[in-house]
Chains A and B, each alone.
Chain A
Amino acid sequence: MTKKVFKSIMIVAGTVLIASLVIIMGCLYRYFSDVQVKQLEDEISLAAVAVEKNGQEYLEGLQSRGYRLTWVAENGDVIYDTQSDEESMENHADREEIQQALHSKEGKSLRYSTTLLEKTFYCARRLNDGSVLRISVSSVTVWVLVLGMIQPILIVIVVALILSGVLASRISKHIMEPLNSLDLEKPLENDTYEELAPLLNRINKQHRQIDMQLSELQRKNDEFAQITHGMTEGLVLLNENNVILNINPAALELFHTSHSCKGKDFLTVERSHDVSHAIQDAFSNGHSEIRMEREGKEYQLHINRIESNDAVIGAVVFAFDITEAAFAERNRREFTANVSHELKTPLQSIMGSAELMENGLVKSEDMARFVGHIRTEAGRLVTLIDDIIRLSQLDEGCDMPFEDVDLYEAATDVTAGLVDIAAAKDVEIIVTGGTVKIKSVRRLLTEIIFNLCDNAIKYNKDSGTVEVSINRQGNFAVISVKDSGIGIPPEHQARIFERFYRVDKSRSKESGGTGLGLSIVKHAVQYLNGKINLQSSPGEGTTIQIFLQENMNDAMQVS
């Protein structure tokens, strides 16, 4: 900046100097020349008069006052010269001014010396006798004048240089200092010269724009972080080189890594062959899915390629926990398989008996036994189908009427119906506790108590006991069915509420159960918003407690 200012100042100074020099020299020099010429003319007319009157005497008596007078005869011979010896001078007839004077009484001419350093002005006049008187004066040329002024000019130039240097640095300092000390964070609060105002306004505007964009970006980032943070699904963003850009907490947990993995290759967190293969697959085909197992949980990974302007810019990996879904799927498959199996067994049996009868292979005295067999099996089938229907009703969650139910009464009703079966196994069944009235679905309660008691009798020892007790515990009505039976091994306890699950698969036929009883209990209790508690030790017996909210309405509100 300083250089530029210095240059411009120098250019201005130089131009002004040269221009004024030229103009002044030109004007003054011309003026002085003119004055000289006039003086010369006056001088010659005076001299001419004097010479005509006095002749050579005048010239001889004349003290040269800077002029040179030359008297030339008509033929050009010099008669007298005030500065030189006339004998030695050559003929002047061919001189321009003499010729002019001979012709027209007066003549003028200007001649430069050979070095151009001096110029001589001549003025000539014809006298009455035909001779010519010439006067001349020499003066230096304009160049000599200029040359003579070189020293002061140089001084002026040096002064100009110094001055412009100082000025330039001061001006540029003046310009730059406020610029350098600008507070760009708060552009409008600066105290500077007004030319900067548009710039500052513009900066201010851009500041606001940037701030807005930043906060928008921050907001979006926060939103994204919030969403991904709260997700139970794992989410990983990869760039086109398989490097992790973003990973949410769920994924961090899934892959057992920390936030430091950002910016590293995905291989460093998950190097399993299948997964890296799936990712490559997604990069080339756009999408891939893979299941993977981690610590007993099953995950499904969805990998999608991200494209922008037809270029692959990365991939997103989504990990779902499908443990439950996979479990449910397996359950469903098992259920279907079990249902068909359970339905088929009695039907096969019926068909076998019927075929024997059809072919007349059954003696008439055995006929009753076979028909009885068919009836029992058909009965089994009906019970099974009834159970399935009940289960599916509970699954559907269809509305059932809520009414006041006395649990004690319900329990005694159920046990009364089971006395015969109990007696057949020599099992004593008793109901203890007192009246507990709750608002509930009578049919479901009967179902729960029946199934629990039925199991308690079926899986009891000979001459064992089954105790059904009804009481209150805090806000809950508790139905407790305790038996002295064979108990359930711990490894089976978690699964006995599954459909068709049996602890001892070989005994199913013998005990005649459908394998759906506890499943129905579980669903019924769920429908009534209750809880089941199971305590069992093999060989000692099982206690199943059902906790029910006393007032269903409260329960509804709570849930």
Chain B
Amino acid sequence: MRSRFDEQLATLNNELTQMGAMCEEAIAVASKSLTTGDMKLTDKVLSLDGEINRMERTIETLCLKLLLQQQPVARDLRQISAALKMITDMERIGTQAADIAEIITFLDGRTGEECEQIRFMADAASQMVTESIDAFVKQDVILAGAAIDRDDVVDDLFLQVKSSLIKLIAEKPTDGGYALDLLMIAKYFERIGDHAVNIAEWVVFSVTGEHKGAGL
């Protein structure tokens, strides 16, 4: 009975890792699509988003089944409840990557060259997701901390993007719509960063039992 439970936990871990990998890919492809202006890539992001949503359902079912049938306690319970929380964030990351891809199709192949910081943002957000998934895979609290700290960088970059876009609109009012689209993209990257932080925090919880520095 117990070994079956361990098996199911391992499956849960694997599925979560896979879902995380998909999120990483979705955001990486989305930022690549932004920087290269390659419209074909946006389709890939959308299909990844669909897959991520399906994965969320599967993992959710598995988690609930585990909770009901095995009635886990202590560390196992933390792991499963953290998984339940993490998939929500991962799903949001997938959806937001898809949103970014959708906006990119409105850019008419422009790549945001006017605003360099948005590329840094894309890289930083992408790295945050990678770090938080890495932290989950390795159950590494330090790595999770690194991901959480990087959020400040992304937030700063967002402010910079905002001010440089204000400048862009002032200089070239005809590019107003374009600038707003870029702002939306930047906002989504910023949100993705926040979700990555959430994931990292749940990783810390599942390892140490403390969420945001307090026991739950």
Chain A contacts to B: CB under 8 angstroms? 242, 265, 267-268, 271-273, 276
Contacts and interface: CB of A to CB of B under 8 A. Distances in A.
A242 B11 CA distance: 11
B18 A268 contact: no
B25 A268 contact: no
Contacts of A268: 17, 137-138
A464 to B, nearest CB: 38
Contacts of A267: 14, 17-18, 21, 137
13 contacts: A265-B10, A265-B14, A267-B18, A267-B137, A268-B17, A271-B24, A271-B133, A271-B137, A272-B21, A273-B21, A273-B22, A276-B18, A276-B21
A256 to B, nearest CB: 10
A285 B14 CA distance: 21
B20 interface: yes
A262 to B, nearest CB: 14
A271 to B, nearest CB: 4
Contacts of B21: 267, 271-273, 276
A267 B21 CA distance: 9
Contacts of A271: 17-18, 20-21, 24, 133, 137
Contacts of A273: 18, 21-22, 25
Interface in B3-25: 10, 13-14, 17-18, 20-22, 24-25
Interface in B118-144: 133, 137-138
Nearest to B10: A265
Contacts of A265: 10, 13-14, 17
A276 B17 CA distance: 11
A387 to B, nearest CB: 36
Given A265-B10, A267-B137, A272 B25 contact: yes
The 5 closest A-B pairs by CB, nearest first: A271-B21, A267-B17, A268-B137, A271-B17, A273-B21
Interface centre among A265, A268, A276, by most chain B C-beta atoms within 10 angstroms, is: A268
A271 B137 CA distance: 9
Contacts of B10: 265
A272 B23 CA distance: 10
A276 B14 CA distance: 11
B183 to A, nearest CB: 30
Nearest to A243: B10
A307 to B, nearest CB: 23
Nearest to B20: A271
A487 B111 CA distance: 33
Contacts of B18: 267, 271, 273, 276
B209 to A, nearest CB: 22
Given A271-B21, A271-B137, 15 more contacts: A242-B14, A265-B10, A265-B13, A265-B14, A267-B14, A267-B18, A267-B137, A268-B138, A271-B17, A271-B18, A271-B20, A271-B133, A272-B21, A273-B22, A273-B25
A441 B24 CA distance: 57
A272 B133 CA distance: 12
A541 B200 CA distance: 55
Nearest to B138: A268
A466 to B, nearest CB: 41
B53 to A, nearest CB: 15
Contacts of A272: 21, 25
